[in-house]
Structure 1
Amino acid sequence: MDIIDGQILDALKRNGRSTASDISRKVNLSIPAVSERIRKLEESKIIEQYTVKVNREKMGYKLLAIIFVNIDHSASIQHFREAIIQFSEVIECHHMAGKYDYMLKVLIEDTTELEDFLSNKLKDIKGVQKSNTSIVLSTLKEILNR
């Protein structure tokens, strides 16, 4: 990967619908050269997918919560991992070093749905020992692709 590839990635991160023609003008390469570089970035898995950022609130999801989770035994980890990825409310799940084992980013409609998620989904997963939930009041910065 070189500087031109980086410029192509920056253009695609700003607008995933940018055409090779648009990008070629920004990086001073021909359209076929840009197309070939994009193809190589996709094949090498540097570009994993193209996505859309939606307005969560307009979609009805007004509550974002961060949930820290501890698992009771290492034997329960695989079961937890398989279970947690099944919940559409969980938009991120990270294995952590430190006080907690996992950090979940959960997007839901309201506190009623949060209560249901915590009581009837998360705590029903075998091995979940405890959780600690924080509600996000506002987001100052969120970058989907760095």
Structure 2
Amino acid sequence: MDDIDLKIIGLLALDAKRSLADIGGSVGLAPSSVNERIRRLTASGAIRRFTLDLDPAAMGMQTLVFVWIALREDADETAFREYAANHPLILECHHVTGAWAYLVKLRVSAPPEIEGFLADLKEHRFLGRSETVIALSSPVPGSFTPKDM
């Protein structure tokens, strides 16, 4: 990966719908050369996907929630990871150090959905204990792309 590849990635990160001609003009390459570089970056795994960045409130998912999770001692951790990867409310799941095993990031339409999520974790026999934090605002918002779209 060279400086031109990094510039292309930076431009796509700002606007993935940017035209090849526009990118080429910014980096000094023909559109066909830009297209070939993007194809190569995608094939190598440097670019994993192109996504939408949606407004959570417009999608009815305005509540951002973080849940610290400690698994039950008898929980199947592999099954939990698969559950997390496929759960429609879970945007991110991180295995962490410290008193908790996982930090999960959710988007829900309203706080009562959090209870349903926690009940589902209990029903699957994953949840040992948890702590839930609701974000009041996000001065530096992340992207939002639901899994079930």
TM-based fold match above 0.5: yes
* Contact 2:68–2:104, Cα closer than 8 Å, also in 1: yes
In 2, Cα distance between equivalents of 1:139 and 1:17: 25
In 1, Cα distance between equivalents of 2:131 and 2:67: 6
Is residue 71 of structure 1 aligned with residue 65 of structure 2? no
Is residue 130 of structure 1 aligned with residue 116 of structure 2? no
In 1, Cα distance between equivalents of 2:75 and 2:102: 15
**Matched position secondary structure for 1:85:** helix
Task: Give per-residue Cα distances to partners, 1:10-37, cap 9 Å, x unaligned.
Answer: 1100111112111001111111211111
* Contact 1:79–1:126, Cα closer than 8 Å, also in 2: no
**Matched position secondary structure for 2:17:** coil
**Matched position secondary structure for 2:4:** helix
Identity of aligned residues (%): 31
Superposition misfits of 4+ residues, deviation over 3 angstroms? none
Unaligned runs of 5+ in 1: none
In 2, Cα distance between equivalents of 1:143 and 1:69: 21
| One-letter amino acid of the structure 1 residue matched with residue 46 of structure 2 | I
Count of residues in correspondence between the two structures: 143
**Matched position secondary structure for 2:86:** coil
Where in structure 2 are the equivalents of 1:103-114 lying within 5 Å? 103-114=103-114
* Contact 1:80–1:128, Cα closer than 8 Å, also in 2: no
In 1, Cα distance between equivalents of 2:11 and 2:83: 36
Unaligned runs of 5+ in 2: 144-149
In 2, Cα distance between equivalents of 1:74 and 1:30: 58
Shift in Å, 1:133: 0.3
Shift in Å, 1:127: 3.2
Task: Give per-residue Cα distances to partners, 1:40-99, cap 9 Å, x unaligned.
Answer: 101101011000100000111121100000113376211211222332111111111122
Where in structure 2 are the equivalents of 1:1-146 lying within 5 Å? 1-73=1-73, 76-119=76-119, 121-144=120-143
**TM-score, length-normalised on structure 1?**
0.91
| One-letter amino acid of the structure 1 residue matched with residue 57 of structure 2 | E
**TM-score, length-normalised on structure 2?**
0.89
| One-letter amino acid of the structure 2 residue matched with residue 23 of structure 1 | I
